[in-house]
A and B are shown apart, each in its own frame.
Chain A
Amino acid sequence: MPFYQILKKIIRTGVGKGRFWMAAIGLGIAMLLILVALQVHRNFNELLYSKKNENERADFLVINKRVTNAMMGNPALTTFTPQEIKDLSSQAFVDGFHEITAAEFNVKLVADQLGFTTEMFFEAVPDSFIDVKSADWKWQAGQQEVPVIVPSNFLNMFNFGFALGNNIPQFSEETVKSLSPGVVISQGLRTASFRGRIVGFSDRISTVLVPMSFMEWANSVYGTGVTKAPSRVIVKTKDPSDPVLAAYLQDHGYATDEEKTRYSKVRVIVQTIVSIVGFFGIVLLMFALLVFSMFIQLVIASCKKEIRLLITLGTAPRQLQRYLLKQFVPLYVVIGLLALAVVAGLQWWASGLLAKHKMYVSALPGLTALIATAVVLLLVYIVNLRAVRKHIADV
């Protein structure tokens, strides 16, 4: 008969079994909470940063100062000073930064086919900030045709707001692209005429864009000679929902497309909830550990006489430790694996659910969850080992 089997008859671990099971259930729930918190955190990051879920539109922000009543009538207050530019461009959340170059001349759009003329404005940003890819998006000195990108909203406003209300036909994007309205730029008495050509519609930048080369040429020839301070800048960012970014804009009185940064509020809320869940998981884990330690103390105290005789007869304290740990540790491992399995199931279910909404997260729990399981089990093991060691030494 193996030694441990005889020990089983001498050291009864059945005492306080109810407490032990309660602690075991507590440990299971604690592990579940901790793993779920970690997993949700990871999924959220994956949704935000992974290539699969990359949201082109959300990666660029056009930032300007908020125009307040006090600023009205003083346009200089809405421009960025060089210090402000420097500060903003050096922020950690900024991956790419450029001022939006404004035209220093007047622009008039003449659409003869439609029979209207309108005052316009042009702005320019480097090509890398533009979401419209078109072979026509280039301009060289002497070129008559000027490619233009307008915001998608313009066409929508025209088609659904203006055209319907004024009994004017609606236009498709293709039709609009085929139009070539006249573009007249002027400064005082000097004017120049070009043919405009809308080459695309931008969802990203709500302004009328011309190529940087055209803007530089026109500003040099038809400009006032005084460079305008930039009033709008475009920022490329990995994470428009970064709460740091939102706070920065708020603190400096800058404004941007709220829709893009609104996510940051959701994110703060989710992070808070996840943190609270994780926190409760850890608190519960601590209680479970405490109850385990008390249970071990109880078992050893209830067999004090027997353990003392075993040691007198030559049983090594190490043998007793190993025996006692053997009674509990396999259950902890089972609980850990069970918690991991439940989280894996939940993750699989959630990834399926999210995929239906075009959000992609891994179908398996991440390495973090595995490591966390191992760490918690190790912690439980160490606490148990210490409790066993201490109480056996006290016998």
Chain B
Amino acid sequence: MQIQLSAVVPVPLREKVLQQQSDIWNRDITFLPGQFIKIKAPSGTGKTTLVHYLYHIRHDYTGTVSVDGKPWPAYSRDDLAVIRQSRISVVFQDLRIFEQLTATENIELKRVMGPQAFYPPEKIREMAERLGVSHVLQQSGATLSYGERQRIAIIRALMQPFEWLMMDEPFSHLDDANADKAAQLIAEECHSRKAGFILTDLDHDQRFDYHQTYYL
């Protein structure tokens, strides 16, 4: 799955974006399948906005974001659901955990949402153990700390098949040790699927072998 950005400019950041140099905004860029892509930017330059554009949950931009040669608005709601169930997965910066569900249920939701489960249920525990959150699996989402939520959100994103994984500051609430563990898991999962990812972050890091790094 190829993702193309063509002269994308966020409407709310228009003035600011046009004054500054950017590798992404107002340019034509193609993200090739299987690439590990890092997007580095200071706060307030629109990282989250970009991820939302790429995941097609915000639409306040000029220019086009195309997926497989087709602009996002040309996809129907049902097409979109299929893509989000099987081709693009996401870790939001604000994590978006259901507070009324337990941690397991939050992950399970994504495992069983599609017509066929990608992983067996045991995989949840296995990944939770690797990331050190197996002890909170039965806790309700409301009682989890940010660090725990972040790791649950990562596991949730990895429960489904995907060709692209979008991650918006996925390690912001983790210490280095835990971030490394998570990065390793993500890299393995991406490799096994031959999938690429787009990761946004504030700083430089060496956790992945990035194919491309862009400055927003």
Chain A contact residues, CB within 8 Å of chain B? 1-3, 6, 9-10, 306, 309, 311-319, 393
Contact = CB atoms under 8 A, between A and B. Distances in A.
B96 A309 contact: yes
Contacts, number: 57
B109 interface: yes
Interface string B134-152: 0000000000000000000
B101 A9 contact: yes
B112 A2 contact: yes
B81 A315 contact: yes
Given A1-B112, A3-B109, A311 B101 contact: no
A388 to B, nearest CB: 14
Nearest to A393: B77
A9 B98 CA distance: 10
Contacts of A314: 81, 83-85, 110, 113-114, 160
14 contacts: A3-B109, A3-B112, A9-B101, A10-B100, A10-B101, A309-B96, A309-B98, A312-B57, A313-B109, A313-B110, A316-B78, A317-B77, A318-B81, A393-B77
Contacts of B55: 312
Contacts of A309: 96, 98
B82 interface: yes
Closest 3 CB pairs of A and B: A314-B84, A316-B81, A314-B85
Contacts of B101: 6, 9-10
B108 A312 contact: no
User: Which of B83, B98, B105 has most A Cβ within 10 Å?
Assistant: B98
Interface of B: 55, 57, 77-78, 81-85, 90, 96, 98, 100-101, 105, 108-110, 112-114, 160
Given A6-B108, A316-B78, 4 more contacts: A3-B109, A10-B101, A312-B57, A314-B160
Nearest to B79: A316
A1 B55 CA distance: 27
A315 B77 CA distance: 10
Contacts of A317: 77-78, 81
Nearest to B156: A313
B77 A6 contact: no
B168 to A, nearest CB: 13
Contacts of A311: 77, 81
A317 B77 CA distance: 7
Contacts of B84: 312-314
B155 to A, nearest CB: 14
A309 B90 CA distance: 12
Given A315-B81, A316-B81, A318-B78, A3 B96 contact: no
Contacts of A6: 101, 105, 108-109, 112
Contacts of A313: 84, 90, 96, 109-110, 113
Nearest to B117: A3
Most chain A CB within a 10 A radius of its CB, from B105, B108, B113: B113
Q: Which of B57, B85, B108, B109 has the most CB of A within 10 A?
A: B109
Contacts of B57: 312
Contacts of B82: 316
A313 B113 CA distance: 9
Contacts of B77: 311, 316-317, 393
A12 to B, nearest CB: 8
A315 B113 contact: yes
Contacts of A316: 77-78, 81-82, 85
Nearest to A314: B84
A313 to B, nearest CB: 6
Nearest to B92: A312
Contact of A10 (B81, B83, B98, B112): B98
By CB atoms of chain B within 10 A, which of A3, A10, A313 has the most? A313
A363 to B, nearest CB: 49
A6 B114 CA distance: 13
B191 to A, nearest CB: 23
A306 B113 CA distance: 15
Contact of A312 (B83, B96, B105): B96
- Give the most central of A9, A311, A312, A393: most B CB within 10 Å: A312
A306 B81 contact: no
B193 to A, nearest CB: 16
A4 to B, nearest CB: 9
Contacts of A9: 100-101, 105
A385 B84 CA distance: 24
Nearest to A318: B78
A2 B100 CA distance: 17
B98 A3 contact: no
A1 B105 contact: yes
A303 to B, nearest CB: 10
Nearest to B82: A316
A10 B113 CA distance: 14
B205 to A, nearest CB: 27
A2 B81 CA distance: 18
B81, B83, B85: residue with the most chain A Cβ atoms closer than 10 Å? B81
Nearest to B106: A6
